[in-house]
Chain A
Amino acid sequence: MTDKSDPTTTRRGFLKAGLAAGGAVAAGGAAHAAGDPLITEIQPWAQGLGEGVDATPYGLPIKYEGDVVRRNVEWLTADTISSINFTPIHALDGTITPQGCAFERHHSGAIELRKEDYRLMINGLVDTPLVFTYADLERFPRVTRTYFLECAANTGMEWAGAQLNGSQFTHGMIHNMEYTGVTLRTLLEEAGVKPEGKWVMVEGADASSNARSIPLEKAMDDCLVAFKANGEALRMEHGYPVRLCVPGWEGNMWVKWLRRIEVGDKPWESREETSKYTDTLEDGTSRKWTWVMDAKSVVTSPSPQMPITHGKGPLVITGLAWSGRGAIARVDVSVDGGKNWKEARLAAPGQDMALTRFYLDHDWDGSEMFLQSRAIDSTGYVQPTKTQLREVRGLNSIYHNNCIQTWWVKPSGEAENVEVS
């Protein structure tokens, strides 16, 4: 009988076991003279009974995946309320982010707002200021779209150098969901935007309000007032019951617990578009209204949290690519720090402003690698190096770091976040 109380329930335990074994777990299972006991001996799951269908009305991942969770980095912010956590992108595959581990960013915490208590107001330069209930929103014609939401500060800690050791921490302020809702255009047309209306201000029901100004052109183009994500209601921490989707644009503008949309003739210059979400350049001036998230990619495995434990031979190099300017057209991967590149395979054709999964099937010879990925989008934009970005912006931009990431994979299979020349 196999011992199932082994210490491999955490990835750390698994890594220790794998690396201690010299990173060489034999193909096809452990070899025993008398055969693999997992095959030759009858296992309890093949004999007894599993759980009934009434055991778990709404399930969570199996306990062996307990490390695939959001994590925070305490020293990044003054407290855990106006703070950030990170999606475990290192352990995920495909493109849809499970909502339960999709990152959070709050400015006054995740609030609990019932559908019955929910109200959405449209006011300002409109023919008729309106109030909608949640039930009203469900009666408008619906659309369903898949988009990434990337925090403007994703990878922001890496401007000055290589800081955090794992793609979850360097690139995990992102999630990708299939949203269902009503176009913002539909709601604005219901109120009737006056000709002087050029901007909308959107704010949330929480104490921070998170107010942002959006040009009317974008508001009327593809913004979505969403109430479902990945098939179900939004999670509390993602804006239940209603949030805004602003495809391709920085996550800060995707206002959660959306309560009011005001139409005006000028932008508001709120705190979140003056003090924050402005990008300081080397000469001390700062860019404002840097809304679009540029093309970006990262190798999620191998990576510092996902070392190679199987030794040399076939290796799946995989990662994510995305662009706020359009669809991902191509991803190149380098194993030698950018000396040479190979075009990776996209799991599916790139979709506008959504995550794209890429794979490079590699035969690893056991020597060190400097893994990089480089995204190219449908506009021809090529993801730059950090050096290229620093030459334009300096070191103090905080936001919009879409540089090429390097993982130093050592002969042991362990990987580290580094910068290379």
Chain B
Amino acid sequence: MIIIGERINGMFKDIGDALRNKDAKPLQHWALKQEEGGAHYLDVNSGPAVPKEERPEAYEWMVKIIQEVSNLPLCLDSTNYDAIEAGLKHLKRPGMINSVPAERDKIERVFPMAVQYNASLIGLTMDKVGIPKDAENRIVFAMELVAAADEFGLPTDELYIDPLILPCNVAQEHAPEVLEAIRMVKTLSNPAPKTVLGLSNVSQKSPDRHLINRTYLAMAMAAGLDAAIMDANDDDLVDVAATGQILLNKSIYADSYLKVFRQR
């Protein structure tokens, strides 16, 4: 289970302020803290804190200052592909691009970029129209993304399909469809694409967010989930990821498995 720490995001007030003030400290603090929590990748998202035209420069800066303190690979999270490319140029180790929808113009921009910079790529099962409700229509988009990987020469196991989970309080019927989509994605190619979720979405604006997150994580892992963008400092949640690895026989059991899972 690959944990992509979600915390370095301009939507959070401390990170937004840090971006506006060019203050490296909060970003570096969260890089280290998430690594300690169990993150394998760090998601990096400026959010709306930086004006569009300044984003390439901002991503370059974020990448540099985070890599000063952490060796974790980075997951560059933006809809602004110039910003992502600016960040990719400064990565010390292969990273991840978050993300591309199944839209032809964006596919043509992002897939070659992933190949050029040896990055993994998150593909979203949606297009301009939006997110489909059922698993079958999510898979239609997933197939387009897998075909694009083949077309542009990205290894299919470097493609992470995100079937897009929605908040369970307002879009409850999506949750089981996403589980089904994860199962189906694993049958699309050999080697199979990987799967990823923006986990915290499932509990947006619900009480007991932590409980909902970790319950869904366990369910999604059983369906074949490979990675999650999630709260790497929710210890109970990371414990679920570690335990899931054991119960799926993906890591060899040892009494200290919870501790070993967090060691880098």
Chains A and B form a bound pair: no
A interface residues (Cβ-Cβ under 8 A, vs B): none
